[in-house]
Structure 1
């Protein structure tokens, strides 16, 4: 963090201000911090989250944490789950997981069940004194030179840009006058994180319970032997019951009824809450002045069905941080280029959020139907639930040049593939090798590529080139090592006659696939 010289305490100037209400803002701040961007993170909470909230990381989010070097700290504390079951009339009626097991080019084909407090704690520890708690924003405004914030404690912060992830009741979004519209189905859910004693055949599966033709209870396995239950409350229940202790008892009785004929005793409940379903999306994820980006619940809210809330917010942060770094450090004086880059965030992420809301919309309404209907919707919407099928194709994004070669397709996620290092001979996965914030150029099978620098010389530190050769070569020539800093690999999946180049953006989405190196140069000259 950089403070203004000679100013009074409580006045500071940073490059990016992050306003948080959960892991989305923390992740954005952490990524920016690691990229060398000066930041300040403001949190209205008194301390880091202790209980409750989100409970699962999908496959794509695990990839993001893998690139950010955080996943290794989360895996031992979570529980892997990739099977959905239905239970009706005292027995399991189906089990299915093919939307997970058939994922291609991915290491983690499962949910990682892990509590939001654990995720926040891991990130917070890496941010030292950059997070300020009990900081309620009382005013925010933007000018041509940045964003100005005042908090309830009197703290004043000026930042070049801000990333607002301060929840569904976002003070930042409201202050900037960004509409937040949508629907509000008359549905209230109870959620319990609880330890139970039961003779039910416990298994690490997400179980949907059907009773009297409806699927109003779901059981989510959690870490530490914890169980999470979601219970759809009676339709006539109103807002006055929110947080009511009697409703917790009613929810427990509903769970017992759905698990019958098996016994279940509630030993201790760690967290209980109720929530009304809302489906809303901000009219824009970027402010009119172009200095504030919205992410997480500040930008979109929906039901928890499908486990997409935290995952979508983490994707927002992963998409925003590298863009903010670029506009600050790569071309700070080119306002037009900066504006286009940030506008592409709005274009891509708002389209994704609209799809997520539709998926949650379908799932939450299926709770009033048969369990097989609920599971069928999960199957049809697996691209969003796993996170691995979300695409920026056909959005006219300026950062995507529609093109394809086999599994490499512009606008889609970059496949995670095994590579054998040309020097050491050791095998590594691509996502374990990459560094967040850099563009990746994959030169496939081309031993004679132009070794000139890519794009403007001043941006060479933002680009990494990997030369990838087939595992078996007709001429049995070793991969060349000059001009690559040793980034030479062999791959079983690469064809002997393949000759093409892939540009992968820092958010691990493919920007361009081409057989012509001049196309690569032109793309970088534009960006």
Structure 2
């Protein structure tokens, strides 16, 4: 009888953006990972309209942001119509621009299937491929692993399992984790991808009337493809009419006053109802939940896919440290500690943005720009409450905050260099501002090997950056004469800020994680 196959370190269930982001993050850390998907072929769903600024930073770290920028488009101006006539044009991103600390000031429009394809290609570069036709139907946790049963009779043994399998998550249901919340039946819409001719593809068109709406946004990378969203049709009994090409044509003709046959094809049809639900815990032993499996909410603000991507980014480095034996399994508790409050905040902000949008579209000139705010970039989200956020702050940053970017120069070559380039990879990054920090930088890198990469900012250290324009000091709130150490986590959040006189705090922090080489 053949010996059982050894347990894979991590099994990911679901190959949407959340699961693929986590798989890429683990694979680049040389963690053996498998990713299974119940569908027998990759969906061509356009669904989410693209990554927001914080998710673009994640995708840069994973090495795919250039592909995403090339495949997508910048956010489009919105044209609002009333009674079929244009009444207002709005460009929500007109006044935004990149800054030294925020390289991506706006999100990117890209069909979800295109983003997933880019992430699958990246994952394949590590030799990992999505296993299609693999539906999870059972979970059984032992002392050292989880046995995962598949519908076809196979089983997979894994040390850890992550359910990234959507709002109807079988993994969550198998765990028996409650998914409390509400469904707003009255807030429904029909969605799909359509082919349409004769419309300006440089505009996101939005027709609003007293009794409904139709919205058409061009899908980048297609000649005549559009995202179609509309208030649903109802029959004589008040029941929702299922979406179809015919119903889309009727809705289009009614609200646009244009011929319905301008729409020539409709695919990926769905009826969307606003759900606001959240799991009451994100970890049960060796099984974790991420993305829509852990939380669902209104589409207002475009945070669904983005929150999932950012869940995965938070979890990836922690899972890697645990399976590699660098940290105790209790580190995984900080995933729920940090991301559950973010999920709760997301439910609140999306509900608030939805209310603002519904109020706006009742007025001529109002539109989907009301769903967007500075908060929906996710750039301001941090974890100041976390047990992983040590004490320490500057005039602009505190432990737990997102670590800003800044353009500098390599002190040795004079070539341009960015802080985000220093952060890229699976390591912690120790920044030292000022010459007093050089010795602490050398000692930390020597003590912790590949766990920490140390960079001086005008410090005279081996990996030194020159902050000629002062952008790094400004972003980090550090004065010109201060000797300050900033430890940045692998997910580019600040772990610790300390004066160089307290450099021992860095070693204490890393040792607490089990970080010695």
Asked if these proteins are the same fold (TM beyond 0.5), I'd say: yes
Offset at residue 18 of structure 1 (A): 0.7
Alpha-carbon displacement from aligned partner over 1:81-100 (angstroms, at most 9, x marks no partner)? 16555444522435243697
Show the counterpart of 2:336.
346
Offset at residue 368 of structure 1 (A): 3.9
Show the counterpart of 2:106.
110
Select 2:381's aligned residue among 381, 387, 390.
390
Show the counterpart of 1:510.
494
5+ long unaligned stretches in structure 2: 474-478
In the alignment, is residue 300 of structure 1 matched against residue 290 of structure 2?
no
Show the counterpart of 1:415.
404
CA distance in 2, matches of 1:242, 1:34: 46
In the alignment, is residue 359 of structure 1 matched against residue 345 of structure 2?
no
CA distance in 2, matches of 1:179, 1:315: 22
CA distance in 1, matches of 2:257, 2:135: 47
Offset at residue 366 of structure 1 (A): 4.4
Taking the TM superposition and a 5 Å limit, the aligned residue runs for 1:19-98 are 19-81=13-75, 83-84=77-78, 86-88=80-82, 90-93=85-88, 95-97=90-92
Alpha-carbon displacement from aligned partner over 1:291-338 (angstroms, at most 9, x marks no partner)? 111101110112222211111111111111100011122535x4xxx3
TM-score by length of 2: 0.86
Instruction: Tell me if structure 2 keeps the 8 A contact 1:168–1:299.
Output: yes
Residues 448 and 178 of structure 1, relative CA distance in 2, 3 Å threshold: closer
Single out whichever of 105-114 and 266-275 deviates more from structure 2.
Answer: 266-275
Show the counterpart of 1:490.
467
Instruction: Tell me if structure 1 keeps the 8 A contact 2:252–2:258.
Output: no
Show the counterpart of 2:476.
none
Residues 268 and 375 of structure 1, relative CA distance in 2, 3 Å threshold: closer
Residues 202 and 27 of structure 1, relative CA distance in 2, 3 Å threshold: closer
Equivalent pairs counted in the alignment come to 492
Show the counterpart of 1:265.
262
Select 1:480's aligned residue among 460, 473, 478.
460
What is the SS of the residue equivalent to 1:317? helix
Instruction: Tell me if structure 2 keeps the 8 A contact 1:113–1:221.
Output: no
Instruction: Tell me if structure 2 keeps the 8 A contact 1:210–1:370.
Output: no
Residues 215 and 412 of structure 1, relative CA distance in 2, 3 Å threshold: farther
The runs of 4+ residues in structure 1 deviating greater than 6 Å are: 235-240, 261-264
In the alignment, is residue 441 of structure 1 matched against residue 430 of structure 2?
yes
Alpha-carbon displacement from aligned partner over 1:143-191 (angstroms, at most 9, x marks no partner)? 3312111112222222111111011111111111111110100132111
CA distance in 1, matches of 2:253, 2:310: 37
Select 1:522's aligned residue among 494, 508, 514.
508
Residues 100 and 498 of structure 1, relative CA distance in 2, 3 Å threshold: farther
Instruction: Tell me if structure 1 keeps the 8 A contact 2:77–2:202.
Output: no
Residues 92 and 462 of structure 1, relative CA distance in 2, 3 Å threshold: farther
What is the SS of the residue equivalent to 1:277? strand
RMSD: 2.9
CA distance in 1, matches of 2:106, 2:236: 35
In the alignment, is residue 119 of structure 1 matched against residue 115 of structure 2?
yes
Alpha-carbon displacement from aligned partner over 1:119-155 (angstroms, at most 9, x marks no partner)? 2222223334542111111210223312111112222
Show the counterpart of 1:476.
none
Residues 92 and 463 of structure 1, relative CA distance in 2, 3 Å threshold: farther
Show the counterpart of 1:177.
176
